Amino acid sequence: MDLQCSTRSVIASFLLAMAATTPTLAQESTLAKIKASGSVTMGVRDSSVPQSYLLADGSSVGFTVDICRRVLSAVQSQLGLSKLDIKYQTVTSQNRIPLVRNGTVDIECGSTTNNLVRQKEVAFSLTTYVEDIRMAVKADSGIHSVRDLANKTVVASTGTTSVQHLRRHERATGMNMTELFAKDHAESFLMLETGRADAWVIDQVILKAAIASSKSPASYAVVGEVFNSEPVAIMFRKDDPEFKRAVDDAIRRMIASGEMKALWSKWFRDPIPPRGIRLGIEPTEAMLKLWASPNDAPMESYSAK
């Protein structure tokens, strides 16, 4: 071996040793990032009524959006910032997790289910909402339960947990159904409205909100068994315990002060923008239990009914 080769070998061995003994730099914490930049990016949805949706002027509104704004106000106070610039990034069911993982979105405030599969990639706050998964159909369709979906076409929004519930029921019953996947909730309802799909499966409140906002609410109905009950939560980057603690503490204070119940009334009982529709949904038993004992249990801990 010549001197040049020997020297390269020594350098290579040194670099390998350094790599083995030098700790990997951790990703900057969300709180540190917010404090350094004086800004935060909130992921929002465009049509998850009443959780997170856009008005005609592009502004973001909704139950989860209001919760996140209050959480971020608490974070601002905790960090001693005189001002916090909130930037809004519209996300979809397909891209919300990648955008949180790569740091584009700091806090996702939509209608995202906390489950064990997603926990491998991201983290979740205390549960903010517990939802039942059901289906919407045309009122005159003759569809009243899951068994009536045999040889029918069912639509679900791409990237939602509704898909796995559909397939589980299909396997259990042995019946055939055609699955369609829409890019978002608005397109899912359009498929139902135009007859391209016989049923749409998603969170019950999203179904009811879409129907109430439609041209002919009496033409649709939410029917059938509950596919599953799911905990909805705020999503953020994994392995960031300080940020999770800040978010969870703010949520606990909102529950204890009664502010969370006031937000429920604002978005689920009172008239909501843009057309002043009323969903008229009272807190369920699951929500009352959640407020009495806040937790971040994943979907797998909720039994299908």
Strands 52-54 and 47-48: antiparallel
Give the C-alpha distances (Å, rounded to integers) separating 60 from 76, 211, 254.
20, 20, 21
Buried b (16+ CB within 10 A) or exposed e, 127-151: bbbbbbbbbbbbeebebeebebbee
Torsional sign, CA 24, 30, 86, 157? positive
Tell me which amino acid residue 243 is: F
Q: How far is CA 132 from the centre of its chain?
A: 14
Q: What span, in angstroms and rounded, lies between the C-alpha atoms of 265 and 22?
A: 53
* Range 108-121 average pLDDT: 96
* Range 266-270 average pLDDT: 96
Least confident range from 50-64, 124-138, 172-186, 251-265: namely 172-186
* pLDDT tens sequence across 160-182: 887 777 777 767 667 788 999 99
Name the pLDDT band for 24 (thresholds 50, 70, 90): very low
* Range 39-53 average pLDDT: 96
Q: What is the mean pLDDT of the chain?
A: 89
Buried b (16+ CB within 10 A) or exposed e, 78-117: eeeeeebebebbbbbbeebbebbeeeebbbbbbbbbbbee
> Could you tell me the domains of the chain?
30-131+231-301 (3.40.190.10), 132-229 (3.40.190.10)
Model pTM score:
0.80
The percent of residues above 70 in pLDDT, for the chain, comes to 89
Q: What pLDDT is attached to residue 64? A: 98
* Range 128-133 average pLDDT: 92
Name the pLDDT band for 90 (thresholds 50, 70, 90): very high
Question: Which position has the token pair 């001693």?
Answer: 80
22 pLDDT more than 70: no
Q: What span, in angstroms and rounded, lies between the C-alpha atoms of 270 and 277?
A: 8
Centre a 10 Å sphere on the Cβ of residue 208 and count the other Cβ atoms it contains: 22
